[in-house]
Amino acid sequence: MELLERDSPLRDLQAALREAVAGAGRVALVSGEAGIGKTALIDHFASGQRAARVLWGACDALFTPRPLGPLHDMAGQLGGEWPARLNAGGQPAALSAAFLAELQQRPALVIVEDIHWADEATLDLLKYLARRIERTTALVVLTYRDDEVGPRHPLRALLGDLATSNAVTRIAIAPLSKEAVHTLVGERRLDAGILHQQTAGNPFFVTEVVAASGSGEPQSGSPPTVRDAVLARAARLSLSAQAVLRAAAIIGPRIEPWALAEVTGAESVATEECLHVGMLVAHSDALAFRHELARQTLLDTIPPPQRLALHRMTLDALRVHPATRNDLTRLAHHAEGAGDREAILQFAPAAARRSVEAKAHRAAARLFELALRHADGLPPAEHAQLLDEFAVECDVTDRRPEASDAYRRAASLWAQAGEPLKHGYSLTQFALIQQITGHKAEAEAANRAALELLEPLAPNAPLMYAYNMEAWLSLANADNARGAAMAEKGLAIAHRVEDEGPMPRLLEVAGLCWLYLDHALGMEYLKRALALSLELNHTLRAGNLYSNLYSIYVDFHEFERADELLATGTSYVREHELVAMWALMEGWLAIHKLHRGEWAEAERIAKQAIERGPVSPGRGPALTALGRLRTRRGEPEAMAALDESLEMLLALGFRQREGMIRAARAEAAWWAGDRARTLAEARAAFNLALTHQQPVYVGELAFWIWRAGERVALPEWAARPYALHLAGDWRGAAAEWERLGCPYEQARALADGDPEAQTAALAIFERLNARPAADELRARMQAAGTRIPRGPNATTRENPFGLTARQSQILALLAEGLTNAEIAARLHLSPKTVDHHVSAVLARLEVESREAAAAIARGQKPLSP
Amino acid sequence: MPRYLVEQTFAEQLNVTANDEGARWAAAMLGNDARDGVTWIHSYIAADKRRTYCLCDAPTPAAVRRAAQRRGWPVDRITEVHVLDPASLR
């Protein structure tokens, strides 16, 4: 078939392949509407090159696609151990790594078609490959229908990932021009202009109409839609051939000849006619429709009774043949089509479990759902088991209400079946989801029922989980003592039942409970939990712990430890693609940066975290950071951000963190000139903070109470800089803040000092652009008759480092954490100019790195290399 | 002439009774089929009255298809068969 108007995309593909073969692997994303000719282009490209071996796979247009379908397609082409490896199932991570290794062996052209239909496991594989593609000598070509990928489509995540990669070429396929349509029409009596308009230049539509037009008959009108064009073409075939097409539509997208023969019986000879006319095409070992659009169209024309019969006959054929009898997803699909309850129950659960193994959770959920639709009449235990497994998949795929409902139903069925352990476990799982979705009372009631059921029995694993849940619920109620007691009970059982699996989780909850009773012990537990999770390769748990520990370090102002953990934690959650954990760390990173005086970075990160959506884990801390930032800069909507942050906290429980938000609100109230409010906010969480022995919260809240004019007694374990400040030692406080690397707080302490200290404070406030604090201090200094340096330019001009005004300006922005590109944008300079200036600054300051220069600018000693 | 087994699934139940009406209906069917050279021998009808297995002699499967289409009957599958009759084996 001649390929019209595809020179440009072909050149792009050829260029990409050259680069790949030369040693730098590439990804090519080929997009376009259905029927635009993506397959034709790729086939032409693949067959026209000799440089690389071709591995071809396609994603199925089925409601529940086969997990790793494309990889299964490639198994035969890959040869060696691959067919066996794929049939054995096994860890997707291992398969991904093995596939990557294949692509490093010799040049390869990997084609995966229709990734808008890709199952989760395939998407994970593609993401994994794309990130590492440059290490291979492969060109991976991915095709998809861009008009079918809306904002919430699962493919969006992969596309977003690829957007930032340098190794990706994007190729959009355009519709045909009028000239091209003219060429296709050839000698036939069709108006190319009208046809071009009607089909919008869609090649498939055009060729269908042309094929349906027969030879030479004038057309009274062309079919208005692709569907009509396809049906018109089919209508020209013999009745038996049409019957074959209908059977093929049901069997497909991939149509094994032996299956088609069995289902069509004596009419299978008509297959030849379908091939001859081009409605079916032959691939290496199977048939297919010329285009998925054609198959769908024909599928829609089959009346329900025939549909049932065809699915039944297909199922009969596929379930006994060695090539297909293990394709459980496909068998489940036909069982569903045939309405065969027994077959559904035979295949759907097994297919679901296979999908779970492959980590294709969405598909697994749908398959369990299919089985459950026909589960009435099953023995209670079997029914309950399906419900439990379904619930797990729903939980993972963000279908929480259904998960909750399934666990509840499972629990009552386990009761019927006389299985108290399973009953108790389902109750605890139900409680967990209820708690997460904000239904505290239901959660507590359910878990209490679980405990009542399980405690009288011999030590058992479900009881362990129930104690764990009880600890978690106590923590949510800020009842840390009870939480710790429950967690210890759970840990005691863990040792009795010799099950290491839940240990990390138990240690984590125990740690979080102990944290506010005995900080050192709590941290001890948490660190043990992290170590054990890493050892047992519990990636989710480890990710959770990294993010929890990081937030605690930031919260307790242990910034050096926070810095250390940030590096390892970030790389861990990134590597294992733990999006939620990263989101949480991101929120706390905003707070971290805020306290370190890197305000531009803090703002950028906070906004990024907030943009992830209303239920993103990092949203709360990000809002708090943003609120503080706005307060300190004198920008509007500070309290609005803090209102939302507080609301979120109160809704979820875990009021242990309330102190931080209240302190931020007190600060906001203070700068809004509302002394009474400042006092109210600070007092609101002061006692709670005392009970939880949170030194930083207690310190800051006490500071605001004191600032608002009331007396307050500080325990001796309160955070040192605050303790010193309230004792009148502003100089000591400032030194402490400087040691911690917190310029704003340092300046706040200096502002209460002698004129020399106040001058230094003012300089810091101005550099940070802390308008309210700078203005207030300047006014105070003026009133006291202290000499004030002449504004920001004066400060930079009288620069002790001997830098020019421009260099000081750039150093200031560098200290806030901006990149050279950002500095260039901010100052309307070229990036090259900024590079020059930065080099000059580093030379003047006699340091090697930006970080060192930034540290000096913030008034700290640079860290030794 | 080959013999074919035709499997059919109906949306509605097939109700035929052995009376005048039934006889007229059968005659019409036979006449219809003859136009394509198809001889309807007999049919087996399942208990739910929605699935039938029809035995007929016809020159080709296409002929069976055409006859069924003319009747307005849906066809699931046409299979060529040979008679295996215990009586005929003795």
Residue A304, chain B, CB below 8 Å: the answer is yes
The C-alpha atoms of residue A109 and residue A54 are separated, in whole angstroms, by 5
Residue A865 confidence (pLDDT): 43
Residue B49, chain A, CB below 8 Å: the answer is no
Query: What residues of B are in contact with residue A263 (Cβ under 8 Å)?
Result: 77
Using CA coordinates, name the residue in chain A closest to B2.
Answer: A266
Residue (of A365, A360, A304, A368) closest to A337 by Cα position: A304
Structure tokens at A339: 């309405």
Residue (of A589, A675, A685, A594) closest to A631 by Cα position: A594
Q: Is the Cβ pair A305, B80 closer than 8 Å? A: no
Q: Is the Cβ pair A266, B4 closer than 8 Å? A: yes
Residue A802, chain B, CB below 8 Å: the answer is no
Alpha-carbon Rg for chain A in angstroms: 33
Write out the DSSP string of A43-68: HHHHHT--SSEEEEEE---SSSPPTT
| Cα→Cα distances A30→A43, A91, A142, A170, A171, Å | 13, 29, 6, 6, 5
- Cis geometry, peptide bond prior to residue B86 (ω within 30 degrees of 0): no
Q: Are A237-320 and A805-857 in the same CATH fold?
A: yes
Write out the DSSP string of A442-492: HHHHHHHHHHHHHTTSSS-HHHHHHHHHHHHHHHHTT-HHHHHHHHHHHHH
Query: What residues of A are in contact with residue B7 (Cβ under 8 Å)?
Result: 309
How many C-beta atoms lie closer than 10 Å to residue A377's C-beta?
Answer: 8
CA A694 centroid distance within chain: 32
A310 to chain B, closest Cα gap in Å: 7
How many C-beta atoms lie closer than 10 Å to residue A509's C-beta?
Answer: 27
The C-alpha atoms of residue A571 and residue A582 are separated, in whole angstroms, by 10
Name which of A242, A251, A260, A267 to mutate to probe chain B: the one with the most chain B Cβ atoms within 10 A of its Cβ. Answer: A267
Residue A303, chain B, CB below 8 Å: the answer is yes
Q: Is the Cβ pair A306, B74 closer than 8 Å? A: yes
Helix (H, G, I), strand (E, B) or coil at A176: coil
Q: Is the Cβ pair A303, B74 closer than 8 Å? A: yes
- Are A393 and A365 a contacting pair, CB within 8 Å? yes
B37 to chain A, closest Cα gap in Å: 16
Residue A502 confidence (pLDDT): 82
Q: Is the Cβ pair A239, B65 closer than 8 Å? A: yes
Q: Is the Cβ pair B62, A306 closer than 8 Å? A: no
B86 to chain A, closest Cα gap in Å: 25
A270 to chain B, closest Cα gap in Å: 9
Residue A309, chain B, CB below 8 Å: the answer is yes
Name which residue leads in pLDDT, A789 or B50: B50
Q: Are strands A53-58 and A108-113 parallel, antiparallel or unpaired?
A: parallel
Residue A838 confidence (pLDDT): 86
Q: Is the Cβ pair A267, B11 closer than 8 Å? A: no
Structure tokens at A145: 């229908």
B61 to chain A, closest Cα gap in Å: 6
Residue numbers in chain A where pLDDT is lower than 50: 795-797, 863-865
Domains and CATH numbers, chain B: 3-89 (3.30.70.3090)
- State which fold the A805-857 domain adopts: Arc Repressor Mutant, subunit A (1.10.10)
Residue ranges of the domains in chain A? 7-172, 178-234, 237-320, 376-457, 463-537, 557-651, 805-857
The C-alpha atoms of residue A148 and residue A516 are separated, in whole angstroms, by 51
Residue B11, chain A, CB below 8 Å: the answer is yes
pTM for this predicted structure: 0.71
Q: Class assignment of domain A463-537?
A: mainly alpha
| Phi-psi region at A200: left, alpha or beta (left = phi > 0; alpha = psi -120 to 50) | left
Query: What residues of A are in contact with residue B79 (Cβ under 8 Å)?
Result: 265-266
Nearest to B77 among A264, A269, A305 (CB): A264
Question: According to DSSP H, which parts of A79-191 are helical?
Answer: 82-87, 92-105, 120-132, 155-163, 178-185
Residue A243, chain B, CB below 8 Å: the answer is yes
* Residue A87 burial by Cβ neighbours in a 10 Å radius (0-12, 13-18, 19+): exposed
Single-letter residue type at A772: P
The C-alpha atoms of residue A52 and residue A56 are separated, in whole angstroms, by 12
Q: Under CATH, which number does the domain A376-457 receive?
A: 1.25.40
CATH superfamily of A7-172: P-loop containing nucleotide triphosphate hydrolases (3.40.50.300)
- Terminal Cα-to-Cα distance of chain B (whole angstroms): 24
β-sheet bridge partners, residue A139: A26, A109
Query: What residues of A are in contact with residue B78 (Cβ under 8 Å)?
Result: 265-267
Nearest to A239 among B9, B66, B80 (CB): B66
Query: What residues of A are in contact with residue B70 (Cβ under 8 Å)?
Result: none
- DSSP tag of A326: T
Residue A338, chain B, CB below 8 Å: the answer is no
- ipTM attached to this prediction: 0.91
Structure tokens at B23: 């006889």
Q: Is the Cβ pair A266, B80 closer than 8 Å? A: yes
Residue (of A260, A259, A293) closest to A275 by Cα position: A260
Whether domain A237-320 has CATH 1.10.10: the reply is yes
Residue A266, chain B, CB below 8 Å: the answer is yes
Residue A728, chain B, CB below 8 Å: the answer is no
Nearest to A238 among B9, B62, B80 (CB): B62
Residue (of A58, A67, A62, A64) closest to A359 by Cα position: A67
| Cα→Cα distances A651→A436, A477, A658, Å | 11, 11, 12
Residue A833, chain B, CB below 8 Å: the answer is no
Write out the DSSP string of A330-346: HHHHHHHHHT-HHHHHH
Q: Which residues contact A30 (CB under 8 A, 6 or more apart)?
A: A9, A38, A41, A42, A141, A142, A143, A144, A171, A173
pLDDT digits (tens, 9 = 90+) for A191-240: 888 888 888 899 988 888 888 776 555 555 567 778 888 898 898 899 99
Name which residue leads in pLDDT, B89 or B10: B10
* Residue A263 burial by Cβ neighbours in a 10 Å radius (0-12, 13-18, 19+): buried
